Amino acid sequence: MLNQSFKFGIEIEFANANLREVENTMREAGVNVVLEGYNHTRRDHWKIVTDATVSTGGYSYATGQGDGGELVSPVLCGEDGLRELEAALAALNSPPAVSINRSCGLHVHLSWTNMQAEHIKEIVRRYAKFENQIDRWMPRSRRGSSCSWCSSTIDNSVDRVGDMSDLSARRAGMQRNCKVNLDAYRRHGTIEFRHHSGTTDFEKISNWIKFLIGFTEASNFTSLNATGGLDVNYKRKKRVAYGELREQLSDKGWSLDFAGGRGSSCRYNLKNSSGETVRNIYCPEMDGFYDEEEFAINGKRKLSQAAVDFWNELFGNTSTPTDELTAGIPNEIVNFYKEREIELN
């Protein structure tokens, strides 16, 4: 079952077939689809638009007329979304069937509940780390930076990104047409994955979606593992002093209770899950649990390395010793890509 907190959208590029005929065929099959002029507007229906990389036959950006283009889904979610995708692909593959060439690509957009910059940065880090392995699942035309429409993620500066308002390909030292496109967040509120070659095959597309969701989920865990489970970008739920740390301690059954004093003499009692006071922490030390530079540059309250060290002192560093590409990926998806790798190499 797909995680319901994830939403996804698909852009399927195809060649040759007349777009008006494709629209008519899909409509006859019961798909709510509209041929439109070129646009980036999110719709509640499927849309067919031209695309400069694949459209021919005197195509028109204004009317959408031409041969070859792109089928764009509405926002989809869960198993119901996959079933809707399967029905749309069955219609797309009906006569007059579309064709796929090496100019075509498949783009997947993901969004999820409570998107955080550190999580997204970890997605890019891990994608860069494993890109050469993922390349082996793709045709040679999509490997490395051999395709200008899905350039490599390996040479990036994603650590320069601050919070979500700072999220962009340029800030991360990458191109917009990178295999992981961060610019999609500002336009669509999504992260776009552009690596996959063009296809209208449901098995290939659905497995790629499942892999990307699993990879994204695993990247959140590896991001937290790097800090022993402390979320340094945590947003407090209540406007209380030091809430970013106190609320996470509360989730562990611990507490930081105000014990009086003012200025540098103000202090908090740190209590364990049994309610016993472990130690007193004075406000200057509490202040040190926050990243002053991050606040000065971005106005963001982010927990510092001192907070991570404090957390690990209390609970131990629970970091996983190794990180694998297939972490969190269902076995049937892993096996699919093992076979895919053999087929393509």
CATH 3.30.590 matches 6-227+326-344: yes
pLDDT in tens, 80-121: 999 999 999 999 999 877 999 999 999 999 999 989 888 999
Listed by start position, the domains of the chain span 6-227+326-344, 243-315
pTM of the model: 0.76
Q: Are 290 and 302 in contact (CB under 8 A)?
A: yes
Say how many C-beta atoms besides its own lie within 10 A of residue 271's C-beta.
17
Q: How far apart are CA 207 and CA 213, in angstroms?
A: 10
At 91 the three-state DSSP class reads helix
Q: Residue 29 CA to chain centroid, in angstroms?
A: 32
Q: Are 202 and 109 in contact (CB under 8 A)?
A: no
Determine the residue type at 300. K
Element (H, E) at 310: helix 305-315
pLDDT in single tens digits along all 345 residues of the chain: 788 999 999 999 999 899 999 999 999 999 999 999 999 999 999 999 999 888 887 888 888 888 999 999 999 999 999 999 999 999 999 987 799 999 999 999 999 998 988 899 999 999 999 999 999 999 999 999 999 999 999 999 888 888 888 899 998 999 889 999 999 999 999 999 999 999 999 999 999 999 999 999 999 876 666 656 788 878 888 899 999 999 999 988 899 999 999 998 999 999 998 899 999 999 999 999 998 877 776 677 888 889 988 988 888 765 554 689 998 899 999 999 999 999 999
Q: How far apart are CA 270 and CA 248, in angstroms?
A: 13
Burial class (CB in 10 A: 0-12, 13-18, 19+), 62: exposed
Q: How far apart are CA 192 and CA 290, in angstroms?
A: 32
